[in-house]
Amino acid sequence: MKKLTIDSFRGKSVDEIKKTIKKNISAADPKINAYLEAFDIDKFEQGKGLLANIPFAVKDNILIKGMISSCASRMLADYKAPYSAFVIEKLLSEGAMITGRTNMDEFAMGSSTENSAFMTTKNPLNEEYVPGGSSGGSAAAVASGMCAFALGSDTGGSVRQPAAFCGIYGYKPTYGVFSRRGLVAYCSSFDQIGVLANSIEDIAMVSSVMNDKDPYDLTSYLDRELKELGKIKYTDSVFKSGIIGVVNTFEGIPVSPEIEASYKKLVGELRKMNLEVVNISPPFLEYAIPLYYVLSAAEAASNLARFDGVKYAFNKRSASYQKLLMKTRGEGFGREVKRRIMLGTFVTSSGYKDEFYKKANRLRTNMKKSYDALFSNIDYMLLPTTPTPPFKLGEKIDDPVAMYYSDAFTTFANIIGIPALSIPYDTDPKGLPIGMQVLSNVKRDVDLLTFCANLVRKLK
C-alpha cells in the first residue's frame, strides 16, 4: 500500500495524478469503503497555486458547493450544499483537487465509522478492524493512497483517533485556527476542522493555506506564524528550549498493556534526548469523558433541532406538524444520534440542568484554568492518542460507554480548545498501529508542529 505525500505529486502532470488516484481508488475502495462518493476527477482542470493538482478528500460534514453533504445520515441523504465551506474555498483557490466525500459516523457521533447510515468503512491495515471515527473514511483514504491528505472534523478526537488507528498523522488545531463556516455543527464550542496526512510537513502546508480570519465565523482568527509556515525548521534548538510533560500512571483511565508499553518506550526515548522531561498529572483528565458527553450532547440536541422535516429535504409528510416532526426524526436519525439528542435534552431540562449542564460548565472553566497553570511550567504534553489499539468491527457497537472511552485522551483538548497532533509511533503485537499525541497550549500550533516534526525525525 503506497502512502502519498504532497511532495510525491510535485512535478507530475495533472493527468498523471488523476490516473494514480483513479487507479488507487478502484483498487482499494471496493474493499475499504472510504468514499461515500468518489468524484469524477476527469472534470477537474489544471490547478494553479501552492497546492496545484494535489488530491484531497473531504469528510461528508464539510460543504462543497453543488455536491451532496449527507453527514452520513438519512436525514441529509439528498441535501446539496448551497455554498462551500471557507476551508474548501481556500484549498480550491490554491489549485487543489477534491477526490470525493468520505464516510463518517452519522453527524460525527462515534469512534468507529460504524454509525454511518450508508456503509461501514474498514481499516486498510486489517479489514477486520475499524478505521476509528468519526473521520474514519478520511483516515482510511489517506492511509491507502486514495488521496494526498484529507479533511476531518474533531469534536472530541475524531481526527486524532482515526489517524492513530490507520497509522497516519492527525492534527486538531487550536479552536478558531480554521473557520467552521460550512462545517455542519455538532457541538459548536468543541468542533474544529482538522487535517489527516502522511507527514507533518503536509499538515503544516495545508494548514497555512486554510488558516485565516473568516468574517462569517467570529471564533476564527489569523495566526500569522502558521499562515507563513512554508517549511518546517529542523533544528535542535526546539529540544533545548522545550519542556515536555509525561505521566507516570494513567489514573482512572483503563489503558491496554500494549499502549502502556509503547508509551513508556517513547518516554524512555525522550529522556535520552537533550530535552527536559518532567512528570505531570493532567488535571481532571478522568472527568473528561463524562464532561464531554454532558456538554456535547447538550449542544448537539440544540444544533440538531433544525432537522424538523420542514427546512431540509428529508421529510415524512403527515397530517400535523407534531406527526411530521416525529416521523421525520424517527426515520431520519440513527440510533446513536437519537441517544445524544435524548441525553442532551435531559441534561438541559429544568430540574436537571443545575445538576448536569451547569455543573459540567463549571468544571470546564476550572479545567481551562488548571491547564493554563500547567502550561506555564511546560511547553508540551505527551499522552497516548487512544487507550487501546484498533478494535474489531462490531466489537464495541453495542456498548456505547466502551465506545465513548476510545476518546479518553482526546476530548479534554476540545474542552479547553488546545492544539494536538497524533503521531504514528508503534505497532501492537498484531501489527496494528499505535498513535501518540503531543499537545500544547492555545495558539502554540506552530511550535507544536515544529517540535513534533523534529521529534519524528530524531526518532527515525
What does the binding site for ligand GLN look like in residue numbers (CB under 6 A)?
108-111, 134, 153-158, 186, 296, 407
Instruction: Kindly state the smallest distance separating residue 169's Cβ from ligand GLN, in Å.
Output: 17
Instruction: Kindly state the smallest distance separating residue 253's Cβ from ligand GLN, in Å.
Output: 15
Q: Which residues are the active-site residues?
A: 59, 134, 158
- The amino acid that residue 51 corresponds to is L
Closest CB to ligand GLN among residues 109, 148: 109
Distance from C-alpha of 165 to C-alpha of 124, rounded to nearest angstrom: 10
Instruction: Kindly state the smallest distance separating residue 361's Cβ from ligand GLN, in Å.
Output: 18
Closest CB to ligand GLN among residues 28, 142: 142
Instruction: Kindly state the smallest distance separating residue 10's Cβ from ligand GLN, in Å.
Output: 32
Closest CB to ligand GLN among residues 96, 197: 197
Closest CB to ligand GLN among residues 319, 401: 401
Instruction: Kindly state the smallest distance separating residue 407's Cβ from ligand GLN, in Å.
Output: 5
- How many Cβ atoms from other residues are within 10 Å of residue 338's Cβ? 14
Closest CB to ligand GLN among residues 266, 360: 360
Q: Sheet of 97-102: strands edge to edge?
A: 35-38, 97-102, 55-59, 149-154, 192-197, 169-172, 420-427, 433-440, 380-384, 243-246, 276-279
Instruction: Kindly state the smallest distance separating residue 330's Cβ from ligand GLN, in Å.
Output: 21
The 3-state secondary structure of the chain, one letter per residue: CCCCCCHHHCCCCHHHHHHHHHHHHHHHHHHHCCEEEECCHHHCCCCCCCCCCCEEEEECCECCCCCECCCCCHHHCCCECCCCCHHHHHHHHCCCEEEEEECCCHHHCCCCCCCCCCCCCCECCECCECCCCCCHHHHHHHHCCCCCEEEEEECCCCCHHHHHHHCCEEEECCCCCCCCCCECCCCCCCCEEEEEECCHHHHHHHHHHHCCCECCECCCCCCHHHHCCCCCCCCCHHHHCCEEEECCCCCCCCCCHHHHHHHHHHHHHHHHCCCEEEECCCCCHHHHHHHHHHHHHHHHHHHHHHCCCCCCCCCCCCCCHHHHHHHHHHHHCCHHHHHHHHHHHHHCCCCCCHHHHHHHHHHHHHHHHHHHHHCCCCCEEEEECCCCCCCECCCCCCCHHHHHHHHCCCHHHHHHCCCEEEEEEEECCCCCEEEEEEEECCCCHHHHHHHHHHHHHHHC
Closest CB to ligand GLN among residues 141, 453: 141
Closest CB to ligand GLN among residues 112, 315: 112
Backbone angles phi, psi at 75, to 5 degrees: -55, -35
Instruction: Kindly state the smallest distance separating residue 186's Cβ from ligand GLN, in Å.
Output: 6
Distance from C-alpha of 349 to C-alpha of 337, rounded to nearest angstrom: 18
Instruction: Kindly state the smallest distance separating residue 11's Cβ from ligand GLN, in Å.
Output: 36
Closest CB to ligand GLN among residues 210, 337: 337
By the 8 A CB rule, do 200 and 229 touch?
A: no
Closest CB to ligand GLN among residues 203, 455: 203
| Closest residue to ligand GLN in the complex (CB) | 158
Instruction: Kindly state the smallest distance separating residue 71's Cβ from ligand GLN, in Å.
Output: 11
Sign of CA dihedral 349, 351, 352, 357: positive
